[in-house]
Copies of this chain bind each other. A is one copy, B any other.
């Protein structure tokens, strides 16, 4: 597929695919019917990143906060995440699922992705947050293994639960909300944050191009 030319691309994109429930309600469907309509957009985004040569992509699947919702919704987004990971497996990617594995809310089908699995030509690193919690992630700092010190003492980046996820350059959130909602607080420290007003199931590749065009106009200072 032909893409626009970009002068500078992000090395790692974080995706917050919000608005599935609003999308369903607007169509007279039950809220929980929205999630399965987020699968195809996810695959389209994966293909675009692969074609553009983006090295790392992180999807916000569901959080521990989300599981306070009605059980029928929780089951629906759990299933959508299992389906998404299955669709992404056996492609040219490495896949890691990150979240609280020790909870019954973590889908058993995804336990095998607790360690990164590599498929095909391994062209892109994909991280999928499933039953993820920012507090769960940072809590690992409180119980870090002193044996893992590198001589300079433990450090924050190497001691969080999500340590295998690198710094995020660009976060794209669909659905109009301008907040991070607990998305990887350490990796998001310096991220540029782009909001698409359309809902995630209404994904268009132009959303993604617009985000990349905006990103290439931003300076990168890492706080300096």
Chain B residues lying within 8 Å of A180, measured Cβ to Cβ, are 180, 188-191, 193
Kindly state the separation between the CA atoms of A221 and B69 in the bound complex, as whole angstroms. Answer: 11
Interface stretch among A31-39, A99-107, A122-130, A152-160? A152-160
Kindly state the separation between the CA atoms of A155 and B134 in the bound complex, as whole angstroms. Answer: 12
Kindly state the separation between the CA atoms of A178 and B221 in the bound complex, as whole angstroms. Answer: 13
A26 on the B face (CB < 8 A): no
Is the beta-carbon distance between B186 and A66 smaller than 8 angstroms? no
Kindly state the separation between the CA atoms of A123 and B181 in the bound complex, as whole angstroms. Answer: 30
A68 on the B face (CB < 8 A): yes
Chain B residues lying within 8 Å of A177, measured Cβ to Cβ, are 192, 218
Q: Is the interface of A mostly helix, strand, loop or mixed?
A: loop
A108 on the B face (CB < 8 A): no
Interface string of A188-218 (1 = CB under 8 A from B): 1111111000000000000000000000001
Q: Count of chain A residues with Cβ under 8 Å from any Cβ of B?
A: 37
Is the beta-carbon distance between A193 and B181 smaller than 8 angstroms? no
Kindly state the separation between the CA atoms of A65 and B222 in the bound complex, as whole angstroms. Answer: 8
Is the beta-carbon distance between A223 and B181 smaller than 8 angstroms? yes
Q: Indicate which residue in B186, B192, B223 contacts A138 across the interface (CB closer than 8 Å).
A: B186
- A contact set with B: CB distance below 8 Å: 63, 65-66, 68-69, 134-135, 138-139, 141-142, 144, 153-156, 159, 177-182, 185-186, 188-194, 218, 221-224
Q: A138-B138, A142-B144, A178-B193 are in contact. List 18 more A-B contacts (CB 8 A).
A: A65-B222, A65-B224, A134-B189, A135-B156, A138-B141, A138-B186, A141-B142, A141-B156, A142-B153, A142-B155, A142-B159, A177-B218, A178-B194, A179-B190, A179-B191, A180-B193, A185-B186, A185-B188
